[in-house]
Structure 1
Amino acid sequence: MSQTVKGVISRRKGADVELVDVVVPDPGPGEAVVKIQACGVCHTDLHYKEGGINDDFPFLLGHEAAGIVEAVGDDVTEVKPGDFVILNWRAVCGQCRACRKGQPQYCFATHNAKQKMTLTDGTELTPALGIGAFIEKTLVAAGQCTKVDEADPAAVGLLGCGVMAGFGAAVNTGEVKRGESVAVIGCGGVGDAAIAGAAIAGATTVIAVDIDDAKLEQAKQFGATHTVNSSRTDPIEAIRELTGGNGADVVVEAVGRPETYEQAFYARDLAGRVVLVGVPTPDKQVTLPMIDIFGRGGALKSSWYGDCLPSRDFPMLVDLYKQGRFDLDAFVSERIGLGDIEAAFAKMARGEVLRSVVEL
């Protein structure tokens, strides 16, 4: 039978979030109910709250989560009750043209739970990124559960979105190689994860670029070898100077603005790679001379979820964390409760935290 639990919703655009009763159905075929242990407060949740994704209110917010599988529906073989899992929003279908080509990390038909969680009056909720994890228990597609070795859920749950996006932007999309130079523009949680990924992949020069000295200092903790404050220094010239006058082999843009994308484009070496992982708003446009696009060669790439395959990448990154080689703890700025999410959004907007993490 269904359960009624506490969850955090956004009822309408711009309104403060609310802690309410949510009805969670028993899992149907291909579904799982997960008891949430921790969930990060991500910018994407704020975008949902502000109506920046769509207008399918009310939203059940939260998606960077880890927890324990409580129950599964018929035909579920991926996980079983008692498994410790990280939730993902790329449950691959196995049948689309990307999957058939052996590229499930680009699956074009990822899926969510078919049943809806509701308010007690029957109002259907739209779960953020098909997950909805600011809640005591959530209903997801079983394929959205990635089993990993048990570890601190507040730390490893962040692999469910932002940290994976940044790490994967460098390692999977940017294909950083040993001995290469990498610049990362924007040193929030995603940018710092890209810095960590570049360092782990063996980059010997890792340049952090931001307008905030405190963020630049923090970037050193994740592996930055050099920092550039772009409010005082031309970042293109600074990156070139730090790379023998050539530009970086890989530049990761983790802001999502035209001016920083242009900086990334011109700060790369000839035949270098630019990776866009910062999420732009729909109104943003960039204009570049076609002769420069042609003449500089290389690749201009976009990274969606770090081009990750959760079943491949999550267990590997948890292993790196447990070995002490990937400091996921450093991304956790504070641990809060379900009633503290609105305040966490305000801290995020002021740039005071990498991640606030809700613990249940």
Structure 2
Amino acid sequence: MAISTFIAALLLSPLATARSVNAPRQATCDTPGVGSYKDVSLKGLPDPWKFANGSPVVTADDFLCRQAEMSKIMQQYVLGDLPPPPDSLTATMSGTSMSLSIKVGSNSKSISVSITKPSGGGSSGGPALIAVGGASIPVPSGVGRINFGNDACAAQANPNSHGTGWFFDLHGKQHSAGATLAWAWCVGRIIDGLEQLGAAKTGIDTKRLAVTGCSRNGKGAFMVGAFEKRIALVLPQESGSGGAASWRVSDSEFAKGKNIQTAHQIVKENAWFSPRFSAYVTKTDTIPGDNHFLAALVAPRGLFVMENDIDWLGPVSTTVAMKAGRLIYAALGGKTNMGFALVGGHGHCSFPSASSADLTSFFNKFLLAKGESNDVELGSSNVTSATMADWVGGWSAAPSLTLVG
């Protein structure tokens, strides 16, 4: 199946634009589509360096195809199908409000988006942060703000919310996407509008976009970053289960008596994931993917994952999955493009001052062109090298790739 659009999006990502991508790129690969992947029986985290058919990932081109495969696996089992762009989209700007008129087939929808323009951007525009349901992190001066009303795109009131929101008005009430994947599609339409209008009207440089959100909206921010390749910097905060945490590790921790959110609980709480996920929530070890794949899908763009030591969020689970994500980034030649900081001793979604310098370094590198991001890996002390070996010890040897110049 051709994935030229996928590869082109990665190549045109802000990181690829700002930092040279050295390896040649192929236009197509034979990655099976959604629905083609088979259940597995795997206690460890699925191997990012091996295709579903058993072939190894050797080259940078291979990894791009493996990314496409990881995306399809997550859609098939957990998230639902990510639709293509709409048939048409028209954007207009009035003051600080951008209006979008979107059409998919015979369905149409008009929405508005509030924008706080960055200061000092000039005609070429400046950086901006897309806030999924609001932002709980400190934002540097000069960075604009785009408020994304994710509940209006796809509701998250309870499990019966599935099918409610303007995403479903366009795609049909029975569409397979869960709310978090729907949010990724909706954010893509906002970026479409920004690109169509141009920086002179919006004040925003679409090659310098970040996304954040906390808790349930942190899951959404992670999903937006994983599936919308035009985001330069992804900043999920305390996303826990369904975000930074591994389904498998969370099940393992639950079996040890930990008060942790698991797949079999989360589907009873809300409509964040596809209805098809329900068939796997008591057997997550049969899914040929897990949430370290989300980090792999963001790679090699900027990713700073902020977590807490609250049991429900799964400190051990988030640490294992995000350490695994850092191993993927390291093999791509960009370990410091991803940071992970689990800092406790504060309330849920209350940003800890101990992470301020690290967060600032990621803003500086990926949005403000002011140096390098810090090398951050602060996880639960309960996760040792032996623990990691239990989860990633069965992986193939990591190739040495060059996706980051």
Q: TM-score, normalised by structure 1?
A: 0.26
Structure with the larger helix share: 2
Q: Which has the higher contact order (CA 8 A, sep 6+)?
A: 2
Structure with the larger strand share: 1
Q: TM-score, normalised by structure 2?
A: 0.24
